[in-house]
Amino acid sequence: MKLLATRHLPSHPKGCYYNGFTLIELMLVIAIIGTLAAIAVPRFADLMRKAKEGSTKGNLGVLRSCLKIYYAGNDGTFPTKLADMIPKYIEKIPPARIGAYNHPERSGETATTNDASLTDGWVYPNSTSSKFGQVWVNCTHLNTKQTIISSW
């Protein structure tokens, strides 16, 4: 069984056969592979962005669930900071993975609702705020569905 194409070239004597592909065939295959790569690479980058958003949404759900459990287990009081839930309610504060927006992966918290530095992953307002006990992502960019990430 031969793996390469075997063909008789008409310009050569009848008993002369050559194995392999012509330059045109090789160039055609390379052009097809290049076209497929040009289509696939942008879609792959978008899938990575969606995966990071999904991970961040999941981590946000975990934090919100832990806050509810903490609230129920502590006579209707919320923690003063997210780190107060460690280790009884959560092993560690999960990171916000929104790296497609040039933010590093981060798991800290800020007490202000409009943190211009965006150095922390989560916003958890202090006890003087009307939003105390709520948590959201510290990012004002649009996600892949064109909604503001901090509105999740």
**Which amino acid, 94?**
P
Domain boundaries, the chain: 18-151
Structure tokens at 49: 């962005």
**Would you say residue 13 has pLDDT above 80?**
no
Give the predicted TM-score (pTM) of the model.
Answer: 0.64
Percentage of the chain beyond pLDDT 70 is 74
74-93: pLDDT as tens digits: 888 888 888 888 888 888 88
Residue 32: band (very low, low, confident or very high) from pLDDT cuts 50, 70, 90: very high
Letter string b/e over residues 82-113, b meaning 16 or more CB atoms within 10 A of that residue's CB: beebeeebbeebbbbbbebeebeebbebbbee
What average pLDDT does the chain have? 77
Determine contact, residues 119/108, Cβ cutoff 8 Å: yes
**Would you say residue 40 has pLDDT above 80?**
yes
Question: What DSSP string describes 49-87?
Answer: HHHHHHHHHHHHHHHHHHHHHHHHHTTT---SSGGGGTT
Query: What is the mean pLDDT of the segment spanning 46-52?
Result: 83
